[in-house]
């Protein structure tokens, strides 16, 4: 990159350009001075330039015009989908040698690669809340030494549609209805379910979307998936097929619907805040990257098509091999510059990784580049630091809107040969050349069944079974998860005003599981219709326990990473609170103090203990379990406080562990708390163990489920 006269420039990580201005002149005192965007120092940033103290503003006020002009253009078009996002920097480390599978250098054991990971909701706009029932985006940008690789996926391993040509229809249907502009960030409305009822291929994804998977407790407690089948190529040119899985170290954890609704009101930024606070306290979100690796023979032996993005390969059929670990340990310095401007592209690929013929993936390869050009307003969006590769970038693509580099020389084409006579002329250097030995090569071998033939707008017959995997998913869930899924369908369909749309969805559910259709129909007080026609026989597949959140392989067993609230009031036992705080911390949890007043509470020993949350601003929906550490007098005071009663009532209703002192018993009684395995006296160590899980046996006592 060329330097402007009088400046030195250096290219840093991410492509940032740092300018070092030589000191000169009598006013270079080393202090930081406010300037315009063009470097002119500003003498007054508080007032416009006027003709007299009360006169009109002058057009010549370039400081005002530049400042307002910049403000007026600060917002860029938000993403059509995945607009609401949060992100963090981190590192990926390869932990297993898979050189027999891929030549990608980032997978050489011990290699560490910088990453930037963005989590997002799909349906809502940038100003929506963190916690709607929605799919979550899970996109990772790897800044490898061979170029950027973007693994752009979701927290669900399958998708709504099989072919990318239907993506605009899907998104138009789930977005706010065109004539009213609502609902925002919700799928419970006519147009979405009208589309779903007419698209049997969406049935499997709907099972996931209505499950607890779309109510994650935090970004750190959800899985991520690449969704599609990809290729990996080794040095010998041999091809394997892979599906990518991100396994959270913190385990899988979701919220309950009533809890989710209340979190949205108490803290619309709950998941974003959680990500920042975990990094702040050193509890870095961590995932293991796993691969399902298979070959053509394995794919041919399946009863479904690996190129169909509405299908998954159960882990019991093909285990996940862990090959690396990602740790997110730094949040962005600037939300707009990084989280908002980051551009993920499935076409960002490196040698050793390739695409399959998945028709949904193939459409995405076009769509994302087109989207980023539209959002960021220039073909040079790759020069934005968060998007810039951290390895050398050399080509002859120049000019364009917002070009920030200054290429030298007159050869902006290739091949070129101005130096053929051997004479060296400044600026006539030949520049970069293609590299057949190490450059990226698209695989030419098998990418899917029946890849040869006429050009046709058709679906392969191997894509025709839309219900077997949906049935497998539902029957794999634990009983509480099945009840939540059925109840979610009742809630969503109760918002659909057109009866024929509800009936059509029910007819699809009959194919999934007749008992599920009966539960949903009963919740709607509608008859169960006949099953909708199926293009292929519906098969009974073996259940996959790996798909469970409750009683599954990723169900948390301890309170590590969980936040436990300790409710105190005047007179609370100081020694007990100290012990609780210590025990929670020793077990890997995060203790927080909740009190009627943020400034402090007078403890039993006369000390003043400051609170982390004021009671009305720290409802129990924000925490994983609660300890009610009240004295007799403190409890008597809180019996008159509605926020305290609701604090305990919600914790009980949301199936959380409740530790309590004897003095707190009247408050528990007023909140309707009944004794069970999750209601623990704070006179031993039982509370810490109970706080690691919800009390699912309590749920039938506190709410009606389908």
How does DSSP assign 56-81, residue by residue?
Answer: PBPTT-HHHHHHHHHHHT---PPPSS
Enter the DSSP assignment of 294: E
Of 377, 371, 323, which is closest to residue 106 (Cα–Cα)?
A: 323
pLDDT of residue 685: 80
Residue 125: give its domain's CATH number: 2.40.180.10
Of 204, 230, 233, 270, which is closest to residue 508 (Cα–Cα)?
A: 204
Q: What gap in Å lies between CA 601 and CA 359, rounded to an integer?
A: 61
Residues 229 and 360 in one domain: yes
**Residue 29: partners with Cβ closer than 8 Å, 6 or more residues away:** none
Out of 517, 547, 577, pick the residue that ends a domain.
547
**Residue 192: partners with Cβ closer than 8 Å, 6 or more residues away:** 173, 174
pLDDT at 12 over 70: no
pLDDT at 657 over 90: yes
Residue 639 lies in a domain: yes
Active site residue 154: yes
Residues 626 and 482 in one domain: no
Residues 223 and 181 in one domain: yes
- How many folded domains does the chain comprise? 3
CB atoms within 10 A of CB 592: 17
Q: Which of 89, 148, 154, 508 is catalytic?
A: 154
Of 624 and 453, which is predicted with more confidence? 624
Active site residue 245: no
pLDDT at 546 over 90: yes
CB of 492 closer than 8 Å to CB of 187: yes
Out of 327, 348, 376, pick the residue that ends a domain.
376
If pLDDT is split at 50, 70 and 90, which confidence band does 304 have?
very high
Residues 529 and 636 in one domain: no
| Integer angstrom CA distances of residue 648 from 253, 267, 294, 412, 628 | 21, 18, 50, 69, 8
Mode of pairing for the β-strands spanning 658-660 and 625-628: parallel
pLDDT of residue 416: 82
pLDDT of residue 434: 83
Residue 615 lies in a domain: yes
Domain that holds residue 487: 468-547
Residues 612 and 534 in one domain: no
How does DSSP assign 519-539, residue by residue?
Answer: HHHHHHT-PPPPPPP-SSPPP
**Residue 77: partners with Cβ closer than 8 Å, 6 or more residues away:** 374, 375
CB of 322 closer than 8 Å to CB of 95: yes
Residue 542: give its domain's CATH number: 1.20.1370.20
Residues 233 and 358 in one domain: yes
Q: What is the pTM of this model?
A: 0.91
Residue 457 lies in a domain: no
**Residue 336: partners with Cβ closer than 8 Å, 6 or more residues away:** 74
Of 35-44, 243-252, 583-592, the range with the lowest mean pLDDT is 35-44
For the chain, the farthest-separated pair of C-alpha atoms sits apart, in whole angstroms, at: 97
Residues 541 and 581 in one domain: no
Out of 376, 391, 422, pick the residue that ends a domain.
376
Residues 122 and 244 in one domain: yes
pLDDT of residue 244: 98
Residues 147 and 176 in one domain: yes
For range 82-104, the mean pLDDT: 97
Residue 68 lies in a domain: no
pLDDT of residue 422: 66
pLDDT of residue 444: 66
How does DSSP assign 225-258, residue by residue?
Answer: E--S-EEEE-TT--EEEEEEEEEETT---B--HH
Q: What gap in Å lies between CA 130 and CA 353, rounded to an integer?
A: 33
pLDDT of residue 69: 84
pLDDT of residue 427: 75
Residues 664 and 538 in one domain: no
pLDDT of residue 705: 96
Residues 507 and 594 in one domain: no
């Amino acid at each position: 990159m060329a330097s402007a006269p009088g400046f030195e420039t250096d290219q840093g990580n991410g492509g940032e350009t740092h300018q070092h201005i030589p000191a000169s002149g009598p006013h270079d005192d080393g202090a930081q001075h406010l300037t315009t965007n063009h470097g002119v120092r500003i003498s007054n940033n508080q007032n416009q330039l006027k003709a007299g103290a009360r006169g009109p503003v002058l057009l010549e006020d370039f400081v005002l015009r530049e400042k307002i002009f910049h403000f007026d253009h600060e917002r860029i078009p938000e993403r059509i989908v995945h607009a609401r996002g949060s992100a963090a920097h981190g590192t990926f480390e390869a932990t297993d040698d898979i050189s027999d599978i891929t030549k990608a250098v980032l997978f050489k054991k011990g290699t560490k690669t910088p990453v930037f990971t963005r989590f997002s909701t799909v349906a809502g706009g940038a100003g929506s809340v963190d916690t709607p029932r929605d799919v979550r985006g899970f996109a990772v940008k790897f800044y490898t030494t061979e170029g950027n690789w973007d693994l752009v996926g979701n927290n669900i391993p399958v998708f709504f549609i099989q072919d990318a040509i239907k993506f605009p229809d899907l998104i138009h249907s789930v977005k706010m209805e065109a004539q009213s502009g609502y609902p925002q960030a919700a799928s419970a409305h006519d147009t979405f379910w009208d589309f779903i009822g007419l698209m049997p291929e969406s049935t499997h994804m709907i099972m996931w979307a209505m499950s607890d998977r779309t109510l994650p407790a935090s970004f750190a407690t959800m899985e991520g998936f690449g969704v599609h089948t990809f290729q990996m190529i080794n040095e010998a040119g041999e091809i394997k097929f892979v599906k990518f899985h991100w396994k959270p170290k913190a385990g899988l954890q979701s919220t309950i619907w009533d809890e989710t609704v209340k979190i949205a009101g108490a803290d619309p930024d709950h998941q974003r805040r959680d990500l920042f606070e975990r990094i702040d306290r050193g509890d870095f979100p961590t995932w293991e990257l796993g691969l399902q690796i298979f070959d053509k023979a394995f794919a041919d032996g399946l009863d479904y098509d690996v190129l169909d993005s509405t299908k998954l390969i159960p882990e019991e059929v093909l285990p996940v091999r862990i090959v690396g670990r990602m740790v997110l340990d730094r949040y962005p310095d600037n939300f707009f510059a990084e989280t908002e401007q980051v551009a993920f592209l499935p076409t960002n690929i490196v040698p050793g990784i390739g695409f399959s013929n998945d028709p949904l993936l193939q459409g995405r390869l076009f769509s994302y580049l087109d989207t980023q050009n539209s959002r960021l307003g220039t073909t040079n969006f790759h020069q934005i630091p968060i998007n810039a590769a951290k390895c050398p970038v050399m080509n002859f693509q120049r000019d364009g809107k917002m070009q920030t580099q200054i290429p030298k020389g007159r050869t902006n084409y290739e091949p070129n040969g101005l130096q053929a006579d051997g004479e060296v002329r400044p600026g006539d250097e030949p520049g970069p050349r293609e590299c057949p030995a190490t450059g990226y090569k698209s695989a030419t071998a098998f990418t899917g069944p029946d890849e040869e033939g006429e050009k046709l707008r058709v679906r392969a017959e191997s894509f025709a079974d839309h219900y077997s995997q949906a049935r497998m998913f539902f029957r794999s869930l634990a009983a509480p998860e099945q009840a939540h899924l059925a109840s979610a369908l009742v809630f969503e369909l109760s918002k659909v005003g057109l009866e024929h749309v509800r009936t059509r969805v029910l007819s699809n559910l009959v194919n999934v599981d007749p008992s599920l259709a009966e539960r949903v129909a009963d919740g709607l007080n509608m008859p169960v219709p006949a099953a909708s026609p199926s293009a292929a026989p519906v098969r009974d597949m073996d259940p996959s326990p790996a798909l469970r959140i409750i009683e599954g392989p990723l169900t948390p067993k301890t309170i590590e990473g969980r936040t436990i609230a300790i409710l105190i009031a005047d007179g609370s036992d100081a020694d007990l609170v100290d012990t609780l705080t210590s025990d929670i911390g020793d077990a890997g949890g995060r203790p927080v103090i909740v009190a009627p007043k943020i400034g402090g509470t007078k403890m039993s020993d006369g000390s003043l203990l400051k609170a982390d949350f004021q009671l009305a601003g720290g409802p129990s929906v924000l925490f994983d379990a609660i300890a009610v550490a009240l004295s007799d007098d403190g409890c008597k005071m809180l019996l008159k406080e509605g926020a305290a009663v609701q604090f305990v009532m919600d914790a009980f209703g949301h199936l959380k562990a409740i530790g309590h002192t004897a003095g707190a018993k009247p408050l528990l009684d007023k909140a309707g708390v009944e004794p069970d395995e999750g209601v623990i006296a704070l006179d031993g160590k039982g509370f810490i163990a109970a706080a690691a899980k919800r009390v699912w046996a309590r749920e039938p006592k506190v709410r009606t489920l389908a």
